[in-house]
Amino acid sequence: MQNKLFIISNEKIFGSDGNFFCDNLDMKSTPEGLKKNFDIHILGRNSRKTRSHRINIKKVTLSKTFFSYMYSIFKSFREKEMKYLIISISPFTFFACILLAIFKKKSMTYLRSDGYNEYKNILGFVGPTIYHIMFSIVSKTSIFIGCNKEVLKGRKGKIIYPSQLTDKWFLNQSSAEFNKIKLLYVGRVKVEKGVYSLLKIIKNFKIDISLSIVGAEKDSINSIKQENVNIYGIETSENKLIELYDNHNIFILPSLTEGHPMVILESLARFRPVIIFEEISHVVGNKKGIFIAKRNSVSLQEKIEYIKINYSKIKEDMKKNNLSLKKDFLKEFENSILNFN
């Protein structure tokens, strides 16, 4: 008999004819990877807008209101030996954690990103205070799993570094060519992702470059149109993503906040150096091939020129990276849930 796992998420999920879609790849792949040994039920928030990644899980409940969300959790108490996994801390999942504690249901909370910075970007100076209140209470009622040490903020918890890399990412690796600087960004076009600030920075460049943005939705295309900027929609094909990395020479992640971004692992697996800005310097860890720039045109150009001149040495350093695979991440995550009592 399979173990029962109820995943409580703040993710907005689109449902149609028994099929369910989300934007966050981790929200799709992690439950799918765990379903071999778990009978999984996902609770999410209803989205009227179509999403990019199909979730191959049969039991998905979408709540339109806060009360229906909480009632769905309450109904799950009928099930015996149910394990509860909360994905990230938000107002919805915070009160879910409180409800579980009231009914003496143990839970694990998976922290995928730094909520302090996220709430600051969303709510301004009051954001970190609001998140701190929720974070402090959840830390006393749930067991933390963090994507890195930074998100735990000194609290107890298990660190599991996520990965979506399959063996395919390490096949036919090639060296980058620098006839022209071709920057690549893969991800959502949102303010917190720093895309708009990056566009302003490269407008002032004195060097000839191009920037490809992969992941733009229709409603954001007009806001990012600019000379030397190539715009692509959301790409879900692993083969096409690998091809995109190989056709560029530097990956840039301009985010204002991040947890453990998968795109950095993808870029390093293809021997493409990565440039980030100071706000997310914690993601570097012991990985080789990541360079930190200040958020201005002079600093960014300096990093680009350094990479261009020193690429051969940088590539040799990147070969030393011990990048984890998706199967290893899922196995460790699975064991943590199975051993949780």
For residue 192, what pLDDT band results from cuts at 50, 70 and 90? confident
Mean pLDDT of 5-29: 93
For the stretch 145-162, pLDDT in tens is 999 888 999 999 999 999
| Domain 167-318 CATH assignment equals 1.20.120.10 | no
Distance CA 293, CA 301 (A): 9
Q: What is the pTM of this model?
A: 0.89
For the stretch 240-272, pLDDT in tens is 999 999 999 999 999 998 888 999 999 999 999
For residue 335, what pLDDT band results from cuts at 50, 70 and 90? very high
Q: Please tell me the predicted confidence (pLDDT) of residue 120.
A: 87
The string over 196-216, giving b where at least 16 C-beta atoms fall within 10 Å of a residue's C-beta and e elsewhere, is eebbebbeebeeebebbbbbb
For the stretch 277-306, pLDDT in tens is 999 998 998 999 999 999 999 999 999 999
Helices 66-76 and 91-102, interaxial angle, to 10°?
30
Cα Dmax for the chain:
64
Question: Is the per-residue pLDDT at 25 higher than 90?
Answer: no
Sign of CA dihedral 31, 37, 43, 48: positive
Structural fold of domain 3-163+327-338: Rossmann fold (3.40.50)
The rounded mean pLDDT for the chain is 93
For the stretch 60-117, pLDDT in tens is 999 999 999 999 999 999 998 899 999 999 999 999 999 999 999 999 999 998 899 8
Q: What is the Cα 326 distance to its own chain's centre?
A: 14
Q: Do domains 3-163+327-338 and 167-318 have the same CATH topology?
A: yes
Residue 37, C-beta contacts closer than 8 angstroms, at least 6 positions apart? 2, 3, 334, 338
Q: Where are the domains of the chain?
A: 3-163+327-338, 167-318
